[in-house]
Structure 1
Amino acid sequence: MAEGGAAGQDPGTVMLVDGNSLVYRAFFAVPEDMTTASGQVTNAVYGFTRMLLTLLRDHQPDRVGVAFDRREPTFRHERVSSYKANREETPEALRQQMGIVRQLVDTLGIAAVDHVGVEADDVIATLATQARDRGENVIVVTGDRDAYQLVEDPHVRVLYNKRGVSDYALYDEAGIEERTGVKPSDYVAYAALRGDPSDNLPGVNGVGEKTAAKLINAYGSIDELYQHVADQTPKLQQNLDEAQDRVKLNLELMELLRDVPLDLGVDDLDLAPPKTAEIEELFDFLEFRSLRDFVTEVLDVDLGGDGDAGGALEAAVETISTADAAAEALNRLADSGEPVALAAGWGDPFDRSQPHRRRLLGLALVADRDAGQAVWLPSELLESSGHDALAAFFSAGTPFMGHDVKPFVLWLLSQGIDAAGLTLDAQIAAYLLDPASGRFGLDDLMRTHTAMELPGIDQPDEGRLFDDDSGDSVAPAMQAGLQALAVSHLAAPLLDALDAQGLRGLNDDMEVPLVRVLARMEHMGIGVDVEGLTGLRDRLVADAERLRALVIDAAGEGSFNVNSSKQVGELLFDKLGLPPQKKTKTGAYSTDAGTLEKLRGEHPVVDALLDYREVEKLRSTYGEGLVAAVGLEPDNRIRATFNQTVARTGRLSSDAPNLHNIPVRTETGRVFREVFVAAEGCELLVADYNQIELRCIAHLAEDPGLIHAFESGQDVHTSVAAQVFGIEPGAVGIEERSTAKMVSYGLAYGMEAYGLGSRLNIPTGEAAVILDAYFGAFPALREYMDRAVAEARTRGYTETLFGRRLRIPEINSSNFRLRQAAERQAMNAGIQGLAADIFKVALVRLDHALQDRGFASRIILQVHDEVILEVPEGEHDGVAELTVATMAEAYDLRVPLEVHLSSGHTWADAK
């Protein structure tokens, strides 16, 4: 047996490829998140193309044919209705690619063959037999073991795809015998006994591969075996007798046809000249830029490209040094009427504890995309004599585009310039096209959407910028110039991709305007009582030290590191003998919060540890972290960063510091909200969507019972509990209401019985009963979730009512746990995504309304479903009315959007 792909076959070699087998294996070998910008999944086409080109390169065949199955039933299906009935339905993402594969085979100059009523294996068997009879060598490429019967020295061998896209074994007769224990001529009889579960053809009970090989080698054929069936052990004799009809049927179905009346013969399999123009067009559509060189190498063709082709992007950057030259350049760009592509050059942060407060080195703007020309405006010019020209450019609403633009918009605000002309942020567009990919950098986008690469330019020490005439590095200017040019090349393909996926409205009307809103929030920040925050930090330091001493004392083991999970685990489970709950992936004892909660009350050290950990987290994360994040005197404000491209569902996130996680569940944690204060003469107004995710569920599922619960005017959780437990609303107690509330909110996160049981601290079986009762009371909810999973499985993605898509390739995974997690994600993505979209619409509209009506009030913070505004005295009533109306009217749900409003001098007072 020869292993792998031996190159240089003798003249007269015919390669016959099982197209369906290779496409199927490519689909599961290449990640399904490989898609074009327009949303076309391409993993199977890509994997198949690379496999096919590799085969052509390594084996140099003279003739090639790729055989495909047809959709119509074959004679085997007509003979046995259950034939292949056990196979799962072909994933929609794979089905969509089969036609493209056929087209690709044709453009490469290779014959594609099929025939009604038979399978690709039969087509291959017919052509292989013809070639053998002519004395030609044949290589059958497949991942189907049925082809083993075709192997015949010296002419016919099978190149068997064992797994993935590159693991092959080339079998001759000796190789098949070594692999199966029988000669190829005996393979059908061997397989008839063994059966073929993949085709839903059962064999003889108790007869596996070794027994089947032993019997066939002993008797030579099925007929001879059954003539000697009495010689077998009683059990084997019984099993053979019971399966005799099944075995003979297997013989009929498993033998490949060698006389299919095809429309072509071996002579028609000569490689035709590749259709170069069609290859280029197809590869452009599939965005297979990395395969162009491979096609050129294997098929010896010259694949050209469009105007953007040509390797690394190049730029010529002109430094502007005077205010007059800056005004002239900016006026010329503004007068063009086209969005101006720009990129900021950044140095180190002013303060590393506030990484978003970066130092601007200058601004690059594209002057001529086709010529690769950009201008560079140094920050010294922009902040002094060139400031007026810059202000006029952006304040006039000049359209511009960039990548990760918010930091620059924030810098402009620091200069008193409110830029309202943003039309495209390439990072946000890429996020909308595939939020799960995480590949939103300019270099990734250039490789994906153009034929060019963005070269890396080393930054000079400390980000210093040198003049061109000095002969020293001008890296920041060149880097920014290249980035701006990259944006200009990306604009058209990104906008086309957004149009193709129906995402243009989401980009233009929601996400792009939101950039300015978030920049304004970050610019404003929220006031902090520094003295109160410092005092809180100091108390937490003292409390943490006190509780650490209590842990050590309760352990009775002398000093040990209470922050070491390993030492804590050894103490609890080895020395104190407490029952371990679970272990980590490394085999160590788990000492996480869930584990310790289950052990609460078992030993004083457990309670002390839980108290210590709570305070220590507050001290390190919030006490120290928030103090470090406060701006300089007399500002005393914290300015967090808000991110649009992190959460897959469209939710906003916060960091540096993360103000979304300010603790509220414990009294100690809630104290932190007391140190967030309004400016003098102002108050904090907090507007909070009430139960928005549950309202989204009611709208999406259109469940009459849940809709009634909202429309009745009663407390919704009490109403839901009454329906779930079959009691009157007046009889609903705290426990029933809390359980119903937990289930309702858990639904938005795909919570199942195990998760509910963990939260309620009850057995999973009891939790399942509660869930069943919930879905019994609200049956449309279960129907909606089942429908959401089914649609995601078919389409490969979920979609909100606003059109936001989330690709979930794992939903067709063969791994049960991955598939189960993907199903939960499919259940909740539409719910959370709709809630996120509604909230973003409200933010954009509220910010615009405040400006349009001339209010001095501003949005300064958002946390989950609440908006926090800083409102001057005298504006309370008007702003409160505007806020409630704007948020309530953000989307017309089947149930009303309810907004809770509160106010106070501190965040704690307002909540």
Structure 2
Amino acid sequence: MATRYPFVLVDASGYLFRAYHALPKLTNSKGEATGAVVGVLSMLRKLLDAHQPEFVGVVFDAPGKTFREDLYPEYKANRPPMPDDLREQIQPLQEVIRAMGLPLLIIPEVEADDVIGTLASRAAAQGIQTLVSTGDKDLAQVVNEHITLVNTMTDVALDPAGVRERFGVPPERVVDYLSLVGDSVDNIPGVPKCGPKTAAKWIQDYGDLDGVIANAERVKGKVGEHLRAALDQLPLARTLATIKRDLVLELDPTDLRPSPPDLETLRGWYERLESRRLLATLKPVPADASAPPAPAGVVTETPSQPYEVLFSADDVETWIARITAAPLFAFDTETTSIDAMRAELVGLSLAVEPGVAAYLPLAHVYPGAPAQLDRQAVLARLQPILEDPSRHKVGQNLKYDMTVLARYGITLRGIAHDTMLESYVLESTATRHDMDSLAKKYLDYDTVHFEDIAGKGAKQITFDAIRIEEAGHYAAEDADITLRLHQTLWPRLEAIPSMARLYQEIEVPLIPILSRMERHGVRIDPDLLAAQSSELAQRIHDLEIQAYETAGRRFNLGSPKQIGAIFFEELGLPVIARTPTGAPSTSEAVLEQLAGEGHALPDLILQHRSLSKLKSTYTDKLRQMVNPDTERVHTSYHQAVAATGRLSSSDPNLQNIPIRTEEGRRIRRAFVAAPGHRLMAADYSQIELRIMAHLSGDERLLAAFASGLDIHRATAAEILGLPPEAVSSDQRRSAKAINFGLIYGMSAFGLARQLGIDRGAAQAYVDRYFERYPGVKDFMERTRVQARQDRYVETLFGRRLYLSEIGHSNQSRRAAAERTAINAPMQGTAADIIKRAMISVDQWIQTEQPPVRMLMQVHDELVFEVAAESVELAAARIRDAMESAAQLAVPLIVEIGVGENWDEAH
């Protein structure tokens, strides 16, 4: 049984900073900053709804100095001043919290942590279970059997065992631990180069900080020297890190009982914040005055309108008449699987206007299920409507429904709208684009989730086993909410003609094309994959042996903890970066840097990870993915995932098969053509650089592409002042790194790392590049200015990418947004172009019916299965369609290869 917490303490200042830095910067129509306030209130509501405590304390830091700054003037000196748009949100937030009836505490000359520590300790002494909601690791020192920490943003809770697991020491030793590692944020001095593991080991070896100090002479190596040099400042560090638990406060935990909310004041604030979600929490007082008031922040759900469930042929005919008369109807399928290629149809739902929806059960098979209409008979009756292009349909992810229906001989036509794509085109990064998320964001409506009626995990049942009474409401609600979403989203898209055009001319026409590609699938050679798996297993084993020999002992190559111990404690490798918990990082980027510096073990681990991933993800798994009905592998394409408009794929993820390594190319050899056919790969050549030339209008870049020059050789010649024929392969490689690096916002530092040269030489390369291609530099600066002004950038075809952090006060986040602003128009335009090419090629295939199937789309490449005798015809028509997909200031070039397998086709 879960622990109940009668007393909840909230680190409100911590909430405020985390909400400000983690959430989008929102403003109301008056330009007032509101994002942090709304974020904190959302976290508060979530916390209080979950625990419904009897006593609550919401604690803020008081303005002005604290006793710690008197002890150590440099305390928190490294912290930048509070941003103005955050400072202005403090008073409104505190006013709203008071209006919610929540006790608000602001105690001068101490920090919120000290107030929380004191109140939590008092409650614990009275046996009151207390929950402290904070993201501050320092408060781990107050945890005991009665006090638990919870991080509301991550839902991670820390009890005494959790503290020991996270820090390597019990709560009563956390102060000693913090004193040793120091705190760069609060500017608390510690022992230089003493990381979390070292601090925990010292405390484990010598008992506590005093024991570490007493045994400092026994600590060997450089870190021992650092410890001895820091001995004089450790007592100060301990004092600064210690949270007070004995403040003189004129209140007790049991005095902190919430009072009834001031609804009128709350309504005024929520209207000023312009938050529909918060306004929706203000429900009328119940008629039963004796009923207890709902806890602050709790939303009471209103009963849903009943929907129809159709059991008779007459009911079906009534609904056929309704959808036939409607200018647009919503449509959804319910099935037994998320895999559309294997899903069995269980039922259909329809909606013709908001609140008017029905579910047609066809194949529920649980014991005692009522008699249902014959599935084939109903589908035969509906088929003319579903296949009629003049009967306009709207759905949510209709590609799935189209693929399911195709298995029953129905070709879905008349797709007018897809709410998933409407949301995605409107703002790709605003939210997830599943129906539940969209309903919450755009309608402020909480849908019935699938897990609510089917269960979770291993106990989850398939839809055909769900009782029709529950299934009917869930399914009809899907159709109803889809229609309502369309009525909300489409007017917003229509208001921006370029985006509406992109949605109608690119995204919606792509739905049937992707469905056909998924259904076609691709043949693979399972025997070849099995042989590759065996070879990879041997190579992985050999790498493990080499790693053990290099490390001097056996260890788990998949364990960051064990790797970190060997790297930084046993081998003394330099710490490149740290994890959020302060531990030395062993991320892939760190391993790459260490390997680049000549360290053998990181290089072996990188090779081991790469080969293990290829084996588990592809050579082992692809054989298990073969559909027994088709004997092919069927990937799933996703239109509404990548922010830039690019397609992604899963099960298998075709985008991640490496092409530059021999192992990746060997996996591609297992993708084979059917007998009598060939695989044809058509790949855009350097499309993003060509788009850069078009967008920037740089004369030299345009001339190089117009002349058909090797762009990387031409770039090397320009920046080095050499004739193209004198450029060496290494010089061309450097120019290629610059060409592509600039598109992705690579700095001189990053270029230096990639080329293995010093930073000054890399900066000289970049400077000379911009001297020779000034149009590129001007384009980048124009884009930054425009992005800061509009907060979005656009592709050539009107796709917008919104940049919520382009004006962020954090320089690194702002710089990342600026890099995205420069890259997104090129990546997004490339994505739009290949989608337009797919539509053009598909029109040829559907019209003339050549023996050609479009099988895969990977990055800038399309892969086809072509009858051997039609290879030349297909190559000519496909090249023409792809090269004509956009009119740029430079020619689009498509390279085509043909082979028995995917690798040969390159």
- What is the TM-score with the length of structure 1 in the denominator? 0.66
Counterpart pick for 2:347 among 341, 354, 362: 362
Output one character per residue of 1:554-610: Cα deviation in whole Å (capped at 9) or x when no partner.
4332x3222222222322343334444444343434334444444468565455434
- Whether 1:859 and 2:851 are equivalent positions in the alignment is no
Equivalent position of 2:211 in the other structure? none
In the TM superposition, what is the alpha-carbon distance from 1:426 to its structure 2 partner? 0.9
8 A Cα contact 1:748 1:832, kept in partner: no
Counterpart pick for 1:386 among 375, 378, 382: 378
Output one character per residue of 1:363-419: Cα deviation in whole Å (capped at 9) or x when no partner.
1111x4255232415258675223323432222223211112221111122223222
Counterpart mapping for 1:704-723 below 5 A: 704-723=699-718
Distance 1:675 1:796 in 2: 45
- 1:777–1:428 Cα change, 3 Å: same
Counterpart mapping for 1:249-288 below 5 A: 288=276
Equivalent position of 1:129 in the other structure? none
Structure 2: any 5+ residue segments left out of the alignment? 1-16, 42-82, 100-105, 111-263, 286-300, 365-372, 455-459
In the TM superposition, what is the alpha-carbon distance from 1:828 to its structure 2 partner? 0.9
- Whether 1:665 and 2:651 are equivalent positions in the alignment is no
Output one character per residue of 1:869-906: Cα deviation in whole Å (capped at 9) or x when no partner.
11123322222222111111111111111111111110
Counterpart pick for 1:346 among 325, 335, 344: 335
In the TM superposition, what is the alpha-carbon distance from 1:465 to its structure 2 partner? 4.5
Distance 2:627 2:838 in 1: 25
8 A Cα contact 1:677 1:905, kept in partner: yes
Output one character per residue of 1:772-804: Cα deviation in whole Å (capped at 9) or x when no partner.
111111111111111111111111111222111
- 1:333–1:859 Cα change, 3 Å: farther
Equivalent position of 1:845 in the other structure? 840
Q: What letter is aligned with 1:570?
A: A
Tell me the SS of whatever aligns to 2:336: strand
Distance 1:752 1:453 in 2: 45
Task: Give the CA RMSD over aligned residues.
Answer: 4.0
In the TM superposition, what is the alpha-carbon distance from 1:810 to its structure 2 partner? 0.7
Equivalent position of 2:358 in the other structure? 374
8 A Cα contact 2:803 2:817, kept in partner: yes
Distance 1:505 1:451 in 2: 28
Output one character per residue of 1:658-707: Cα deviation in whole Å (capped at 9) or x when no partner.
11111212112210011000112211111111111001101111111110
- Whether 1:424 and 2:417 are equivalent positions in the alignment is yes
- 1:660–1:363 Cα change, 3 Å: same
Distance 1:512 1:788 in 2: 29
Equivalent position of 1:442 in the other structure? 435
Output one character per residue of 1:346-371: Cα deviation in whole Å (capped at 9) or x when no partner.
3345xxxx6874443211111x4255
Structure 1: any 5+ residue segments left out of the alignment? 1-24, 53-89, 95-141, 145-158, 170-174, 180-272, 298-309
- Whether 1:522 and 2:518 are equivalent positions in the alignment is yes
Distance 1:884 1:539 in 2: 38
- Whether 1:317 and 2:308 are equivalent positions in the alignment is yes
- 1:417–1:848 Cα change, 3 Å: farther
Equivalent position of 1:399 in the other structure? 392
In the TM superposition, what is the alpha-carbon distance from 1:456 to its structure 2 partner? 4.5
- Whether 1:541 and 2:537 are equivalent positions in the alignment is yes
Counterpart pick for 1:766 among 738, 742, 761: 761
Tell me the SS of whatever aligns to 1:890: coil
In the TM superposition, what is the alpha-carbon distance from 1:742 to its structure 2 partner? 1.3
Equivalent position of 1:802 in the other structure? 797
Distance 2:880 2:90 in 1: 67
Tell me the SS of whatever aligns to 1:670: helix
Q: What letter is aligned with 1:392?
A: P
Q: How many residues align?
A: 660
In the TM superposition, what is the alpha-carbon distance from 1:648 to its structure 2 partner? 0.8
Output one character per residue of 1:217-274: Cα deviation in whole Å (capped at 9) or x when no partner.
xxxxxxxxxxxxxxxxxxxxxxxxxxxxxxxxxxxxxxxxxxxxxxxxxxxxxxxx99
Tell me the SS of whatever aligns to 1:385: helix
Distance 1:445 1:525 in 2: 31
- Whether 1:490 and 2:481 are equivalent positions in the alignment is no
Q: What letter is aligned with 1:430?
A: S
8 A Cα contact 2:712 2:736, kept in partner: yes
8 A Cα contact 1:315 1:481, kept in partner: no
Distance 1:43 1:358 in 2: 50
Equivalent position of 1:829 in the other structure? 824
8 A Cα contact 2:659 2:665, kept in partner: yes
Distance 1:745 1:143 in 2: 41
Please tell me whether Structure 1 or Structure 2 has the larger radius of gyration of its CA atoms. Answer: 1
Q: Which stretch of the first structure deviates more once superposed, 852-861 or 411-420?
A: 411-420
Counterpart mapping for 1:470-869 below 5 A: 473-502=468-497, 503-557=499-553, 559-597=554-592, 598-599=594-595, 602=598, 605-632=601-628, 635-869=630-864
Equivalent position of 1:907 in the other structure? 902
Tell me the SS of whatever aligns to 1:651: coil
- 1:284–1:311 Cα change, 3 Å: farther
Q: What letter is aligned with 1:363?
A: L
Tell me the SS of whatever aligns to 1:902: strand
Tell me the SS of whatever aligns to 1:812: coil
In the TM superposition, what is the alpha-carbon distance from 1:511 to its structure 2 partner? 0.8
8 A Cα contact 2:683 2:860, kept in partner: yes
Tell me the SS of whatever aligns to 2:461: helix
In the TM superposition, what is the alpha-carbon distance from 1:143 to its structure 2 partner? 6.8
- 1:507–1:606 Cα change, 3 Å: closer
Distance 2:474 2:846 in 1: 36
Tell me the SS of whatever aligns to 1:811: coil
Tell me the SS of whatever aligns to 1:790: helix
Output one character per residue of 1:797-840: Cα deviation in whole Å (capped at 9) or x when no partner.
11222111111121111111111111111111111111111111
Q: What letter is aligned with 2:461?
A: E
Equivalent position of 1:216 in the other structure? none
Q: What letter is aligned with 1:730?
A: E
Distance 1:847 1:834 in 2: 20
Output one character per residue of 1:45-77: Cα deviation in whole Å (capped at 9) or x when no partner.
78899999xxxxxxxxxxxxxxxxxxxxxxxxx
Distance 2:858 2:472 in 1: 37
- 1:741–1:163 Cα change, 3 Å: farther
In the TM superposition, what is the alpha-carbon distance from 1:507 to its structure 2 partner? 1.1
- Whether 1:882 and 2:877 are equivalent positions in the alignment is yes
**Identity over the aligned pairs, expressed in percent?**
32
Equivalent position of 2:293 in the other structure? none
- What is the TM-score with the length of structure 2 in the denominator? 0.66
- 1:290–1:591 Cα change, 3 Å: closer
Equivalent position of 2:91 in the other structure? 161
In the TM superposition, what is the alpha-carbon distance from 1:29 to its structure 2 partner? 8.7
Q: What letter is aligned with 2:279?
A: L
- 1:759–1:163 Cα change, 3 Å: farther
Q: What letter is aligned with 2:522?
A: I
Tell me the SS of whatever aligns to 1:563: coil
Distance 1:592 1:762 in 2: 23
8 A Cα contact 2:26 2:33, kept in partner: no
